[in-house]
Amino acid sequence: MTSDPITPGTIYKLKYRAVNKYGNSDWSEELNVGFSSLPVKPNPLRQVIQESNETQITLEWDSCLDTELPVLGYKLLINDGIGGDVYTEMVSIIYPNVRKYQI
Give the model confidence (pLDDT) of 41-82 as tens digits. Answer: 889 999 999 999 999 999 999 988 877 778 888 999 988 888
20: left (phi > 0), else alpha (psi -120 to 50), else beta?
Answer: beta
What pLDDT does residue 17 have?
A: 95
Residue 72 lies in a domain: yes
The reply to whether 56 falls in a domain is: yes
Residue 76 inside a domain? The answer is yes
Q: 97: domain range?
A: 46-102
Q: Which of 5-9, 19-23, 39-43, 60-64 has the lowest mean pLDDT?
A: 5-9
Residue 78 inside a domain? The answer is: yes
Report yes or no on 71 lying in a domain.
yes
Rounded to an integer, the average pLDDT of 6-25 is 90
User: Could you tell me if residue 70 is inside a domain?
Assistant: yes
Q: Within 10 A of 74 (CB to CB), how many other CB atoms are there?
A: 19
Residue 93 lies in a domain: yes
Give the mean pLDDT of 24-37: 89
Q: Who wins on pLDDT, 17 or 68? A: 17
Task: Look at residue 75 and tell me if it is in a domain.
Answer: yes
If one counts the domains in the chain, the total is: 1
pTM, two decimals, is: 0.61
